[in-house]
Structure 1
Amino acid sequence: MRLAELSERSGVAIATIKYYLREGLLPPGHRVSATTADYDDGHLRRLRLVRAMIQVGQVGQVPVATVREVLRHADDDSLGRTIRLGAALWALPEEPGPGDQQGDDEAVVTARAEVDRLLGVLGWSTARELGDLSPVHRSLVAGVATLIRLGHPWDAALMAPYARLMHQAAVRDLDLVEAYPSEAQKAEAAVAAAILFQPVLKALHRLAQEEESARRYGLS
């Protein structure tokens, strides 16, 4: 397809597509002449992913430099699947949390110990080995530390049932990712899921809370 058709099918303006091409967010088209290039369904898929990351990400607009870094990892054929997916997802900005895990105050120390104990109970050896190298691990420690400071001491025993439910969700996530034929598409799908599924899962969680509350206590 030519640039005009790519724009029409994606709903993205030609000027914006040209900007993404200049910034390296979209691979060059297949050159037909000095001034003309053809684009395929891979370009359309990548364009939709870029648009989702920049415009409808879970933490608001993602900076172009961050999008470029995420896509660089997604396209890196030298990486194994686990590292490739992990690197792409780690490059995404974390949703702002209620607290900070910097420093070694009592709440942070306790939270880190409880998270470590949780990972041991679950047998999540990879997460335990990575520890604070993982931005997700740091975010979890920060959230638990904030709960502790507010008088809600969430320990490993309280977190474990939730973590097991999240593992079931992760199994489903990767089952969907594995349905894609190429490694690049698998990485793209994982990134898209991280950006677009999180608001859906959060909404489903809240709806489930509302439903269970009504079942237990009624609507009055």
Structure 2
Amino acid sequence: MRIGELSRRSGVPVPTIKYYLREGLLAAGELTSPNQARYGPGHERRLRLIRALLDVGGLPLAAIGEVLRAMDDPGQPVHKVLGAAADRVTPTGGEAAGPDLEDAREEVAELVRRRGWQADERGTAAESLAGVLCALRRAGHGGYIDLLDVYADAAEPIARADLDYVQRRVAREDLVESVVVGTVLGEAMFGALRRLAHIDVSFRRFESPEHLSGPVGPVGPVGPVGSVGPVGSVGPVGPVEPVEPGGSGGGGEVAGGAGGTRGAEGSDAAEEPGGTEGSGGADGGAAGA
């Protein structure tokens, strides 16, 4: 494919692809003319990896270049590639040398020994952890350090799951790429999951209806029902109003109306036989025919 198609398929602009080519992050394509080259699926795959490490993993281009060079070196063991990726992800520095940092380093070394981890006690990750311990104490939250083993208990199964995923790959290219992706993007994934868990636990503890309303207290006893008082006496009935003489006329009108209704019903009934006779004549005519 030409560079324009590579750009469309990968989502990376052409000027950016040319920059990656100049910086050695992306291998050159196969020349088809003095100023044109053909690119393959491997170039598209590498571009997607670079963008993932840059946009999601947060690695600077210089660090990405170092990781990619370790990936492309066939003499590098997979464990070394993992270390190269981890070293680029882990922040270092920021803590001045002194007694506090030395104490923190010793705490980290003791943690590594206590858990039997096969890790360098003065490696990049250990130095980063020592710096975190110093920062916690300086911020007045040294008690957070008591959670070290809780964090370590959570980290071990995650690390095993990461490497289980890596070992499914057979080809070295797939293997080392999955190591880098699992290290860099796995770090971002775990951080996002931890934040989601924080939101959930925080809501359940501080914002749930049970927390806001508090526990419902016991219902108090019901008091005794009061006695019913005596029924009062009924007063005298008032005088009955006389009925107007013309009041019954309405009844006569109703009766007359009923009579009129009956007359109408009689006329309806009288018309029905005539209709029947007519139909009988028609039947007779049909029979005669």
Q: Give the structure-2-normalised TM-score.
A: 0.64
1:80 aligns with 2:77: yes
Deviations 1:8-32 (A, max 9, x none): 1101112211121111100122334
2:66 to 63, 66, 69: 69
Which position in structure 2 is the counterpart of 1:110?
103
How far does residue 181 in structure 1 lie from its aligned partner after superposition? 3.7
Which position in structure 2 is the counterpart of 1:194?
183
Which position in structure 2 is the counterpart of 1:11?
11
How far does residue 109 in structure 1 lie from its aligned partner after superposition? 2.4
User: Does the C-alpha gap of structure 1 residues 33 and 178 become closer, same or farther in structure 2, counting only changes over 3 Å?
Assistant: farther
Which position in structure 1 is the counterpart of 2:43?
43
Amino acid at match of 1:50: I
Task: Provide the aligned C-alpha RMSD in A.
Answer: 2.5
* Unaligned residue ranges in structure 2 (runs of 5+): 213-289
Q: How many residues align?
A: 209
* Residues 81 and 180, structure 2, Cα contact 8 Å, conserved in 1: no
Computing the radius of gyration from Cα coordinates, the structure with the larger value is: 2
Distance 1:191 1:136 in 2: 16
Q: Give the structure-1-normalised TM-score.
A: 0.82
* DSSP-derived class of the 2:73 partner: coil
How far does residue 46 in structure 1 lie from its aligned partner after superposition? 0.7
* DSSP-derived class of the 2:142 partner: coil
How far does residue 205 in structure 1 lie from its aligned partner after superposition? 0.8
Distance 1:56 1:195 in 2: 9
2:95 to 90, 93, 101: 101
How far does residue 72 in structure 1 lie from its aligned partner after superposition? 0.7
* Residues 81 and 179, structure 2, Cα contact 8 Å, conserved in 1: no
* Residues 2 and 37, structure 1, Cα contact 8 Å, conserved in 2: yes
**Which gives a bigger RCO, structure 1 or 2 (Cα 8 Å, sep 6+)?**
1
How far does residue 191 in structure 1 lie from its aligned partner after superposition? 2.4
Distance 1:78 1:154 in 2: 45
